[in-house]
Structure 1
């Protein structure tokens, strides 16, 4: 009887293991090599708007950057934003006052090169308890580059002595993630990080619709990494992307619209993004290429100057409590 009971227990255990759902990257460590890319189809013109934010934005001030191309809200330096410029500019990060749009400090990031920095994200990283900046050197207007780079490093801490200065940061430990797409070159302006799995997601601009690719964690830093195609959105021309630090809310924008997703229970990032989004409020900008959440669920946008002599506004969209 004892042996019969043991056999029953073993059969039950094996049966239970075979029923485990391995489709959720958060739970199991997803096998991206067998992933079937989603193809989302929806009409953005009739898409409803979220009521989570005020429909009009606050103008916090103007930003003295001609080609602002990314935005990230600082976790180590609350009340401040990180930004950068794209091709033709230096390897400089700008720390901006979130209440005024004023540039507080310029940080030159030694060990990096700005070929075409198109987006920045702040998220978790390899060391638990630390926030990391991810800078995407992924722009490629002519779609001719053979490979691309994402720089990952711990978020720098501002000191009062830095105010008004240009500071060279030469002691950062920088992970240089060189990668290539599986299907040729892409101009990519949207970058977000899943803070749970640490997978890096990239959304393209110049394809017939925006394609979504992923660099699964742990990303390689000694050799060139390979991106996997995760899916195809129902909109075009992604210019910026961001996730909150909980990983359950995502904003992706193009020049005309902002799209919003919120996770259902037990959804992975890619499962969420495969669904139809809704729109978030957007006042429109000359050439809006930057977006980020803050700590309270509000979000900011800023534009390039384009061909204007007027500085771009820093907009803040307030969450409705």
Structure 2
């Protein structure tokens, strides 16, 4: 079932009603029927899985706002958020525990708000898709040749002309870019019209983007991020594994893994994810798979809107580490196999090669998709309700900080 199939009239009505409910929370308090302890709004605990561990600490202040990562042939590339030129840091020794920047690849092309980084067919792709104030008429992907430093601009526009803030770029094994927007509890999924490959994007464009449905991010209770528990509901970065069968989308506090054995990532995004917490990152926005199936995570230096408004607090404050979560791919496929989902044939034990998963061989992706689609709606509703409650608290804190700042 395509993600777009979950966006029928009924689903739209449910989501619209939910958004109105959240507005009611913010404007008029919480109805008694929904008042409940915060713990009851959290997602059920996931199976115990691999945990992040520090790999190395960047020491180049140009990475204070590290926002995107990619691993290509063992070399890690990173981009900062902002700036007046294309700037990509090459770090050849990260996987060996050395975060030294070996060189900066720069170009005079001036991005508006670069937020994520991916790669395809020898080129790096910078997702210039950020729009915090939601004012942009177009967003863009910028291709960069890491050997020559040459760039090309590929503008993109939303078909409904409604600006979105986005921080997540996924490029599937076929070269199709997928952009996921950033909003409380919800990420809208977009691809170029006709599901064009990145190499087919017009330069400078624009190319229209079409909507394929939504993914939901509920409050999880994982600590970290700049805006307390609401940070767990905002999509801040993405990655695709080396064989194109797993898409990962992170929030400030957690990573969600969506898998499809055939590499259909749109279908994967409509399935039940596997979640791994990544706690205590100050403003985590970057993830990247290694070729061996581990996952790197990284954070901006960050600051909390409910704390000291000065950023950074100290000019010599150490930058957050690049962390590694080992054996992520195996954990994801093992978890999905336990749930009865299809996994790549290369990962099946010999006894399962003749029949499917779970012994009888009757469970398949098509047999589980109906439930997956329903789960997506339920996750959205849970995320919206819980986010509405907590957002009121966070907005109150932010208002207090701004009042204090302008009172000085």
Contact persistence 2:246–2:263 (CA under 8 A): no
Aligned to 1:318: 326
Q: How far is 1:222 from its partner?
A: 5.0
- From 250, 254, 268, the counterpart of 2:251: 254
Three-state SS of the structure 2 residue aligned to 1:247 is: coil
Gaps of 5+ in 1: 1-22, 25-31, 125-130, 158-168
Q: How far is 1:281 from its partner?
A: 4.2
- From 176, 187, 195, the counterpart of 2:173: 195
- From 301, 304, 307, the counterpart of 1:305: 301
Aligned to 2:103: 105
Aligned to 2:187: 210
Q: Does 1:288 align with 2:284?
A: yes
Report the structure, 1 or 2, having the larger strand content.
1
Three-state SS of the structure 2 residue aligned to 1:87 is: coil
Sort the Cα spacing of 1:44 and 1:148 in 2 relative to 1 into closer, same or farther, 3 A.
farther
Three-state SS of the structure 1 residue aligned to 2:106 is: strand
Whole-Å separation in 2 of the counterparts to 1:310 and 1:178: 36
Aligned to 1:86: 81
Contact persistence 1:47–1:279 (CA under 8 A): no
Aligned to 1:148: 139
Contact persistence 1:146–1:180 (CA under 8 A): yes
Contact persistence 1:252–1:259 (CA under 8 A): yes
Whole-Å separation in 2 of the counterparts to 1:211 and 1:47: 25
Aligned to 1:16: none
Alignment of 1:1-321 (within 5 A): 35-36=4-5, 38=7, 45-46=43-44, 48-49=46-47, 51=49, 54-64=50-60, 65-75=63-73, 78=74, 80-96=75-91, 97-98=93-94, 99-110=97-108, 112-124=109-121, 131-154=122-145, 156-157=146-147, 169=148, 172=150, 174-183=151-160, 184-196=162-174, 198-206=175-183, 209-215=186-192, 216-217=195-196, 218-221=200-203, 223-235=205-217, 236-264=233-261, 266=262, 268-306=264-302, 307-308=312-313, 309-319=317-327
Contact persistence 1:50–1:278 (CA under 8 A): no
TM-score (norm: length of structure 2): 0.59
Stretches of 4+ aligned residues off by more than 3 angstroms: 35-41
Sort the Cα spacing of 1:89 and 1:283 in 2 relative to 1 into closer, same or farther, 3 A.
farther
Gaps of 5+ in 2: 16-40, 218-232, 303-311, 331-408
Report the structure, 1 or 2, having the larger helix content.
2
Sort the Cα spacing of 1:109 and 1:47 in 2 relative to 1 into closer, same or farther, 3 A.
farther
Three-state SS of the structure 1 residue aligned to 2:267 is: helix
